Amino acid sequence: MRDVAVIGVGMHPWGKFPDSSITQMCRQAVEAALEDAGAEWPDVQAVSAGSSRFSGGKGWGLNGNDVVEDMGPTGVPVYNLSAGCAAGGNAFDIGHMLVSSGMYNMVLVVGGEKMPKGMIQLSGVDEETDPEYLRQIAVGMPGPAFWALLCRRRMAEHGTTEEQLADIAVKAHQISVHNQNARFRKEFTQEDVLNSALVSDPLHLYEICPVSDGAAAAILCSAEEARKRTTDPIWVAASAVATAQFDDGIPRGLASPAPADGHAYHSEALLAVESCYEKAGVSPKDVDLVELQDNTVYYELAFPEEWGLCEPGEAESLLERGETLPTGKLPINPSGGFLCFGEATTAMGMFQVCELTWQLRGQAGARQVPDAKIGLGQTLGLGSNASAVILKR
């Protein structure tokens, strides 16, 4: 397999953009990535795209085709990848393979999303054979309640306090004031967070991510091509996707196997991350920064422990000591994360590739992780999909 470089990244700001189409937003991200790469649209030999069920894509998730038609039909092959919120990461993984395999020398990976208003209705399938439909009619459990159950369990097991949960949101917003692409760029106090509406107890409104519109893109190329265009490429040390294992204790429908030791963890995320460690020859202690999918503050405590980045039960004290800030020992979401950007589902993996690239190049300004050399990104999506990526300079 050949080495693969990220030579250009671009992002459309995240937020609510009622006057922009998804195609316009993707175009802005793609043009920025091409310019950053010093490349022209006809140089792109293949496109790998996150496939949305919410916007564009001709109603069939053909979002990559929308981009190609808009940028100018050159006949390039297009791969549309569907993996819920992991679709951007999934598209990156395929884009990486298209270059590492030797099939193509330059590939565009893009993810864009315009989300409908309000909470995501988890299932689009109104049939009693669909486990999510059954869960909604028989129990009535939207997404945030799922996170709340995991969070409440952690509070019982580790003594996590409501104040500590709130401090994760405070930290995220403290960083996001320095990120021009963030939707929310306002600092909050712990009191502000705890006074925001309780959504699913113990989680407050400011402790879960809202839905947003957003787009992000990257240009991947072979080492030979990268050396022609830049002296400072960022390398894809590893990319992986995974799905869940049978007995991880996470109920994805009405029930799951109950592990005898009471545990529950996202095996799909762990598998993707561990696969990246192995492929990259990187150990958790080598990781300089992490962009993880913080749909809720809970994950910022649970994931680093599940992935060996810190000890079980250590996440709260790292937070309290400021070690998860960009200047700390284990910087988590120096972008501000999805708490501050919102969830633009299929763009999320590419959002992380952009932020990791800026950080590794030293272009992150006031949110810069000092001397960052190795960065880990991770997404989690419906259908028990997960993606992970390790970039290095």
Partner 1 sequence: MTTTKRVPVTEGLFEETAGGARLLGSRCATCNSTYFPKSPVCHNPKCNGSAVEDASFGPLGKLWSYSVQHYAPPPPAKFDEPYEPYTLGLVDLPEGLRVLGRMSTDNPNSLEVGMNVELVIERIHGDDDGNDVVSWMFRPA
Residue 119 within binding range of partner 1, rule CB under 8 A: yes
Site string for partner 1, 218-257 (x = CB under 8 A): ---------------------------xxx-x-x--xxxx
Choosing from 224, 258, 281, 321, the residue that interacts with partner 1 (CB under 8 A) is 258
Tokens representing 302?
């649970």
Short-list 292, 302, 268, 320, CA closest to 153: 302
Give Cα separations from 141 to 125, 126, 138, 321 (angstroms): 16, 15, 9, 35
Q: Write down the least CB distance from residue 289 to partner 1, Å.
A: 31
- Which residue number, 103 or 258, has a Cβ lying nearer to partner 1? 258
Strands 4-15 and 46-50: unpaired
- Which residue number, 266 or 392, has a Cβ lying nearer to partner 1? 266
- Other CB atoms closer than 10 Å to residue 392's CB: what's the count? 19
Tokens representing 311?
């000890």
- Which residue number, 103 or 198, has a Cβ lying nearer to partner 1? 198
Please state at what angle helix 297-306 crosses helix 267-280, rounded to 10 degrees.
50
Q: How far apart are CA 70 and CA 64, in angstroms?
A: 10
Residue 383 within binding range of partner 1, rule CB under 8 A: no
Q: Write down the least CB distance from residue 130 to partner 1, Å.
A: 10
Choosing from 18, 73, 75, 140, the residue that interacts with partner 1 (CB under 8 A) is 140
Backbone angles phi and psi of 180, in degrees to 5 = -65, -20
Choosing from 42, 58, 103, 121, the residue that interacts with partner 1 (CB under 8 A) is 121
Residue 148 within binding range of partner 1, rule CB under 8 A: yes
Short-list 299, 349, 270, 354, CA closest to 172: 299
Q: How far apart are CA 46 and CA 26, in angstroms?
A: 16
- Which residue number, 78 or 141, has a Cβ lying nearer to partner 1? 141
Residue 135 within binding range of partner 1, rule CB under 8 A: yes
- CB-neighbour burial class of residue 129 (10 A; exposed 0-12, middle 13-18, buried 19+): exposed
Q: Write down the least CB distance from residue 127 to partner 1, Å.
A: 11
Of the candidate spans 12-20, 140-148, 220-228, 276-284, the one that interacts with partner 1 by CB under 8 A turns out to be: 140-148
Q: How far apart are CA 224 and CA 79, in angstroms?
A: 24
**Amino acid letter, residue 388:** A
Of the candidate spans 151-159, 168-176, 268-276, 312-320, the one that interacts with partner 1 by CB under 8 A turns out to be: 151-159
Choosing from 76, 97, 134, 194, the residue that interacts with partner 1 (CB under 8 A) is 134
Short-list 124, 118, 115, 109, CA closest to 56: 115
Q: Write down the least CB distance from residue 128 to partner 1, Å.
A: 6
Of the candidate spans 9-17, 32-40, 53-61, 146-154, the one that interacts with partner 1 by CB under 8 A turns out to be: 146-154
Residue 194 within binding range of partner 1, rule CB under 8 A: no
The secondary structure of residue 115, as a DSSP letter, is P
Q: Return all residues near 280 (Cβ < 8 A) that are at least 6 apart.
A: 237, 238, 374, 390, 392
Residue 137 within binding range of partner 1, rule CB under 8 A: yes
Residue 75 within binding range of partner 1, rule CB under 8 A: no
Q: Write down the least CB distance from residue 310 to partner 1, Å.
A: 23
Size of the site for partner 1 (CB under 8 A): 44
Q: Write down the least CB distance from residue 113 to partner 1, Å.
A: 18
Q: Write down the least CB distance from residue 256 to partner 1, Å.
A: 5
Q: How far apart are CA 233 and CA 35, in angstroms?
A: 14
Q: Write down the least CB distance from residue 345 to partner 1, Å.
A: 16
Residue 202 within binding range of partner 1, rule CB under 8 A: yes
Residue 138 within binding range of partner 1, rule CB under 8 A: yes
**Amino acid letter, residue 390:** I
Q: Write down the least CB distance from residue 114 to partner 1, Å.
A: 18
Residue 261 within binding range of partner 1, rule CB under 8 A: no
Tokens representing 24?
């316009």
Q: How far apart are CA 65 and CA 69, in angstroms?
A: 6
Backbone angles phi and psi of 310, in degrees to 5 = -150, 175
Short-list 38, 110, 44, 29, CA closest to 77: 44
**Which residues form the interface with partner 1 (CB under 8 A)?**
118-121, 123, 126, 128, 133-142, 145, 148-150, 152-153, 156-157, 197-203, 245-247, 249, 251, 254-258, 262, 264
